[in-house]
């Protein structure tokens, strides 16, 4: 069930791994942790060793609970009554073919869906026992607790790198009894950039414009910006879709390292990516949730013939 399981690796090979991604992971020329010999090894070693323990944890600690969620664009019914629980502080991947509603579903989880004209949502999404769709709940407050990173990097072009990371802090005032000085903000910015594995690359140019960074750096900056406010849940909407394999690998490592700190929900087109970074995987098809189980199980022993058809590349 875990990443180093031989069965998963065989399954991954079955999935016609794009050679370039495979090479990037194998070669892994950058960001060598001082302790480990090969970064790829470090990437695997951090994995909790007992899948059963993780399963148990997943079962009793829920990060985000979704109950019969429907989403519409005008008359189009994009997501059909999805019910599932996302485990707390683990990574959950949502896979499925283009247009299956996975991005729409993700955007329902922090009330971003309703920002599109004619869009509508029904159902419940509970964060820490509170339904974020309950009348009277301010979507702005929801979005402060549930961060989001998009497919294309979206650094604010008029802000420096530092200002970009601190952008969320401006609207997220200090928590109760906490005073936030200038040096506190500097510390938060540094911590967020370190968590996003970007600090070493930008620490000498924090006051330069964010648009001068490469695409991969911009995306990690956006992740740092989302992490700076310490959200309970981080939503990633195909965060590596516009990145090259090396940047993709960095983002994947970073997602991997967020496990244990933040509940992460990642939408991806790339099944290898889902297999690499996630603990649980949900498969969506045409607006329906087809299967939702431990990642290893889904890729090696899918319970639904449609899942099997998709992961073996027969459609989508």
Partner 1 sequence: MTAPTLAPQPSARQQAFTRRTARTLRRRRAVNVVMVIVVCALAVLATLPLIVIMYYLLKFGASSVQWHFFTNMPKPVGEDGGGMANAIIGTILLIGVASLLGLPVGIGAGLYLAEHRGKALANSVRFLSDVLNGLPSIVMGIFAWQFLVRPLGHFSAWAGGVALGAMMIPMVARTTEEMVRLVPVSLREAALALGYAKWRTSLTIVLRTASAGIVTGALVAIARIAGETAPLLFTAFGNQFWSTSLNQPIAALPLQIFNYAVSPYDEWHAQAWAGALVLIALIFIISLLARFATRGRFAGGSGD
Q: Give residues in contact with partner 1 (CB under 8 A).
A: 110, 112, 115, 140-141, 143-144, 147-148, 150, 152, 154, 156-158, 160, 167-168, 170-172, 208-212, 222, 225-226, 229
Instruction: Tell me how far apart the terminal alpha carbons of the chain are, to the nearest angstrom.
Output: 24
265 secondary structure, DSSP code: E
- The Cα-based distances of 216 to 24, 74, 184 in angstroms read 14, 35, 27
Task: Pick between residue 110 and residue 307 the one whose CB is nearest to partner 1.
Answer: 110
Task: Pick between residue 124 and residue 160 the one whose CB is nearest to partner 1.
Answer: 160
**How many Cα atoms occupy the beta-carbon half-sphere of 180 within 13 Å?**
15
Q: Which pair of tokens denotes residue 311?
A: 């992961």
Q: Nearest distance from residue 86's CB to partner 1, in Å?
A: 18
Q: Nearest distance from residue 250's CB to partner 1, in Å?
A: 20
For the chain, what's the residue count?
Answer: 316
Q: Nearest distance from residue 106's CB to partner 1, in Å?
A: 11
Q: Nearest distance from residue 118's CB to partner 1, in Å?
A: 11
Task: Pick between residue 2 and residue 154 the one whose CB is nearest to partner 1.
Answer: 154
Task: Pick between residue 227 and residue 290 the one whose CB is nearest to partner 1.
Answer: 227
CB proximity list for 179: less than 8 A, separation 6 or greater: none
- Concatenated DSSP letters of 64-133: EEEEEEEEEETTEEEEEEEEEEEETTSEEEEE-STTSSHHHHHHHTTT-GGGSTTEEEEEEEEETTEETT
Task: Pick between residue 106 and residue 271 the one whose CB is nearest to partner 1.
Answer: 106
Q: Nearest distance from residue 7's CB to partner 1, in Å?
A: 37
């Amino acid at each position: 069930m875990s990443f180093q399981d031989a069965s998963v690796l065989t399954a991954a090979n079955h999935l016609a791994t794009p050679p370039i991604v495979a090479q990037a992971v194998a070669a892994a020329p950058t960001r060598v942790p001082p302790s480990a010999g090969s970064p790829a090894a470090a990437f695997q070693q951090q994995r909790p060793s007992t899948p059963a323990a993780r399963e148990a944890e997943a079962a009793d600690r829920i990060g985000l609970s979704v109950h019969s969620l429907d989403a519409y664009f005008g008359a189009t019914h994009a997501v059909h009554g999805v019910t599932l629980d996302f485990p707390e502080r683990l990574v959950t991947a949502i896979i499925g073919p283009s247009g299956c509603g996975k991005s729409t579903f993700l955007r329902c989880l922090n009330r971003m869906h309703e920002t599109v004209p004619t869009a509508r949502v029904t159902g419940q999404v509970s964060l820490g026992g509170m339904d974020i769709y309950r009348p009277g709940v301010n979507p702005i407050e929801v979005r402060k607790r549930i961060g989001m990173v998009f497919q294309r990097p979206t650094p604010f072009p008029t802000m420096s790198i530092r200002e970009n990371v601190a952008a969320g802090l401006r609207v997220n005032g200090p928590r109760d009894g906490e005073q936030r000085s200038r040096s506190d903000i500097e510390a938060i910015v540094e911590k967020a950039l370190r968590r996003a594995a970007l600090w070493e690359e930008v620490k000498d140019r924090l006051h330069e414009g964010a648009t001068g960074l490469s695409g991969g750096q911009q995306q990690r900056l956006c992740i740092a910006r989302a992490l700076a406010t310490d959200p309970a849940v981080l939503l990633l909407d195909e965060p590596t879709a516009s990145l090259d394999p090396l940047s993709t690998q960095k983002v994947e490592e970073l997602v991997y390292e967020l496990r244990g700190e933040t509940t992460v929900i990642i939408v991806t087109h790339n099944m290898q990516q889902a297999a690499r970074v996630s603990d649980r995987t949900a498969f969506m098809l045409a607006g329906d949730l087809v299967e939702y189980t431990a990642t290893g199980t889904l890729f090696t022993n899918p319970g639904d013939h449609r899942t099997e058809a998709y992961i073996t590349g027969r459609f989508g």
